[in-house]
Amino acid sequence: MKITFAGTGSGKTSLKRYHTSTLFSSAEFNLLLDAGDGVSRALMNSQIDFNSIDAILFSHFHPDHLNGISSLLIQMKMNKRQKPLRLLVHSNLYSSFIKFLEIGYVFKERMGFDINILTYSTDSFFRVNKDIAFISRENSHLIKYETSAEDSSLLVSSSFLLFVESKRIFCSGDIGSEEDLYLFENEKFDAFITEVTHIDIALLKKVLLRINPESVYINHLSDESQEELQLWLSSLPVSLRERIFVTFDAMSVTI
Q: Give residues in contact with Zn ion (CB under 5 A).
A: 11, 62, 64, 174
To the nearest whole angstrom, how small is the minimum distance from the Cβ of residue 220 to Zn ion? 6
To the nearest whole angstrom, how small is the minimum distance from the Cβ of residue 128 to Zn ion? 22
Name the residue nearer to Zn ion (CB basis): 24 or 29: 24
3-state secondary structure of 6: strand
Name the residue nearer to Zn ion (CB basis): 37 or 64: 64
Q: Using the 8-state DSSP alphabet, how is residue 212 labeled?
A: -
To the nearest whole angstrom, how small is the minimum distance from the Cβ of residue 12 to Zn ion? 9
In angstroms, the first-to-last Cα distance of the chain is 6
- Give long-range contacts, CB 8 A cutoff, 24+ apart: 187-193: 187/161, 189/161, 189/213, 189/214, 190/214, 190/215, 190/255, 191/3, 191/167, 191/215, 191/216, 191/217, 191/255, 192/216, 192/217, 193/3, 193/22, 193/169, 193/217, 193/219
To the nearest whole angstrom, how small is the minimum distance from the Cβ of residue 51 to Zn ion? 26
Residues with Cβ within 8 Å of residue 71, at least 6 apart in sequence? 39, 40, 104
Name the residue nearer to Zn ion (CB basis): 178 or 190: 178
To the nearest whole angstrom, how small is the minimum distance from the Cβ of residue 194 to Zn ion? 12
For residue 138, the cross-strand partners are 158
Rounded distance between C-alpha atoms, residue 33 and residue 60, angstroms: 10
Residue 171 Rama label (left phi>0; alpha psi -120 to 50; beta): beta
Rounded distance between C-alpha atoms, residue 241 and residue 238, angstroms: 5
A 10 A CB-CB count for 145 gives: 11
To the nearest whole angstrom, how small is the minimum distance from the Cβ of residue 64 to Zn ion? 4
To the nearest whole angstrom, how small is the minimum distance from the Cβ of residue 201 to Zn ion? 16
Using alpha carbons, select from 101, 28, 31 the residue that is nearest to residue 66. 101
